[in-house]
Structure 1
């Protein structure tokens, strides 16, 4: 049970997951309250999430579901689970908004903090099945597992920015920024360990496809409802467009390593 073939994929998922924390290091090179940096980070993160959804998650979901149910049904199911993911994100958003209403604090950074917190939840849900996929791939073919871990690590870095920046600028706490980023990243090796202990005989592309479609909906909701409106709030429209496009370009670059 405990052999190199089983343990190495867990180690790969650990490295890939903790690369999320690298994104948090940007807090050391930015001044708290820098509105240009907030605009850059939020719109860059939105570009990353949107592109990741449409180039990685949704195509993976469609392929997996289409192989089991046929192309038409597979695509319709992908869209159905995407919509369910959006509804889940909306419920989370409503819950956090109602909690904020009962808070006695009038801190104007509450909304920015909520953006970071919801992003952490979404990326945890993304990283957990991603860890499962890394483990299964690495267990079956270590070369494939290594390539996948490298690609995941590259796009986990900007994902870390998506969490760390809103948390840091709203709370002024580097500790909180690292904590929430770490929680998101550690979900990846936890997913790998879960696959190692329980799912190895049962996990299949169908289950991963459903999960990835749900996460697509959650990430799209966060991007269009939270990140983009908050980024545009500060009025740096050219910077917003530039960083959004830069975020869009990062994920295809990471595909170079996904051989």
Structure 2
């Protein structure tokens, strides 16, 4: 008879439903505090990140239906955005009370929704106009940058820096980062049609 607890992570979802016992669970990935003791911010981050990754997968899938080069450039752009984003989510999960293993597991599970979005994006991109998917993904990126990152940059400037010289230095560093991103996007937009893969 098949017993799922014989495998290391066979009880992940049943442990989640049973409120995640700390030491009695045979799943080594969930060792740590009970899931009910973890802050609600961790669950909000995990679910929102899963939705975010699903939309990223939609964008990659839809761009791959147009051309391989566009799919590659979209994948690289999303990779550059996701790396610091996932590190930030990992730190938030740790601060919310998860153990390192729990944070890695739930961060991985939310990242897997990108594959579902990829498959859905390829199917929808072949049947419908992929511009709708690009509008959805672009709106999400604009929302994250305008509603989340800009206020955070202002808060950092107010909290961390005192004095005119330090204010100016911090301001220049922030603007150098934004200008680097704008330049990269502009170069991709201008020269994407001239790049050929052989």
TM-score, structure 2 length as denominator?
0.52
Equivalent residue for 2:70?
Answer: 144
Say yes or no: does 1:157 pair with 2:83: yes
Aligned positions of 1:94-133 closer than 5 A: 110=39, 114=41, 116-133=42-59
CA distance in 1, matches of 2:182, 2:156: 23
1:118–1:222 CA contact under 8 A, matched in 2: no
Equivalent residue for 1:194?
Answer: 120
2:90–2:104 CA contact under 8 A, matched in 1: yes
CA distance in 2, matches of 1:204, 1:160: 26
Say yes or no: does 1:171 pair with 2:97: yes
SS at match of 1:171: coil
- 1:255 Cα offset (Å): 3.8
CA distance in 2, matches of 1:214, 1:151: 14
Equivalent residue for 1:184?
Answer: 110
Larger Rg belongs to? 2
Aligned positions of 1:1-259 closer than 5 A: 110=39, 114=41, 116-210=42-136, 212-213=138-139, 216-217=142-143, 220-221=146-147, 223=149, 236-237=160-161, 245=174, 248=178, 251-252=181-182, 255=185, 258=188, 259=192
Stretches of structure 2 that go unaligned for 5 or more consecutive residues are 1-35, 193-198
CA distance in 2, matches of 1:256, 1:153: 18
Kindly tell me the number of residue pairs found equivalent between the two proteins.
147
Stretches of structure 1 that go unaligned for 5 or more consecutive residues are 1-102
2:58–2:133 CA contact under 8 A, matched in 1: no
- 1:126 Cα offset (Å): 2.9
1:134–1:145 CA contact under 8 A, matched in 2: yes
| Bigger fraction of residues in helix | 1
- 1:124 Cα offset (Å): 3.0
TM-score, structure 1 length as denominator?
0.42
Q: What do residues 176-214 of structure 1 show as CA deviations (whole Å, max 9, x unaligned)?
A: 221232233222221111123455202431354145435
